[in-house]
Amino acid sequence: MRRKLVVGNWKMNGGRVANAELLAGLVEAGPFDADVAVCAPFPYLGEVALSLQGQRLGWGAQDCSKHESGAFTGEVSASMLAEFGCRYVIVGHSERRALHAESDQLVADKAKAALAHKLTPIVCVGETLAEREAGQTDAVVKRQLSAVIHTLAHCISQVVVAYEPVWAIGTGRTASPEQAQAVHALLRAQLHAATQKSDEMSLLYGGSVKADNAASLFAQADIDGGLIGGASLKAADFAAICKAAA
């Protein structure tokens, strides 16, 4: 049976005092009957690592470069993250795809770089509202995931996939459990064609997940937890979601 995973994506939020209070609140609320991690902005990763040392909470980054090193000002490599204990790294978040014009292939290359340094990539896929209304959801998410499968080959079983419908991120709108499950089942079937370990892979849902809808989403057969945005910035709210995953 797959163990549930809940990951908080702080995005470009936080501060040293607020982060310390948030992490202390999570530690106090735990332990949880699910794997839990937080993905913080780059400047805070060192402090997050120290704060969570010895705790049953993981941590990760929100992006990494596809390059190992070199003249790439502002970029952070997977090897740098791995050097001091990073476990997860988000790649292909819709905000990166939209605001930084990240292609499907670039996302796949970032996932490959992460795996090369034993990080677990959380690969995000999802459609816009216009794409959903045009009936293109299946084609869009399959195209996005296909690039990663093609690039990683047999290593695809080592990634986590997060379905985040763009129209539900930060909007207060949430895919119904049935809508989310339908896409997760599609993604699992696509992964099954690529690896015999597809049933062991974690597929997360993200998009306005809250304490009051988390349990119904996580109860779906192919939803193994969540990638949580705004609700991960408040210890009580995030802890409630983590407990719902149990």
pLDDT of 29-81, one tens digit each? 999 999 999 999 999 999 999 999 999 999 999 999 999 999 999 999 999 99
State pLDDT tens for residues 186-197.
999 999 999 999
pLDDT (mean) for 131-139: 96
Q: What's residue 76's pLDDT?
A: 98
Model pLDDT, residue 84: 86
Catalytic residue among 67, 93, 95, 192: 93
For position 212, what pLDDT does the model report?
93
246 CB-near residues (< 8 Å, 6+ apart):
4, 32, 33, 34
- Confidence class of residue 136 from pLDDT cuts 50, 70 and 90? very high
pLDDT at 174: 78
For the chain, list the domains and their CATH numbers. Answer: 5-244 (3.20.20.70)
Residue 93 is a catalytic residue: yes
0.95 surpassed by pTM: yes
Residue-wise pLDDT tens digits, 106-123: 999 999 999 999 999 999
When pLDDT is cut at 50, 70 and 90, the band that residue 1 belongs to is confident
| CA proximity to 58, closest of 120, 103, 106, 114 | 120
* In the predicted structure, residue 172 carries a pLDDT above the cut 90: no
Instruction: Say which residue the tokens 């990539």 belong to.
Output: 121
The type of residue at 193 is A
What's CA 246's distance to the chain center, in Å?
18
Phi, psi of 28 (to 5 degrees): -65, -35
Active site residue 164: yes
Catalytic residue among 95, 102, 127, 164: 164
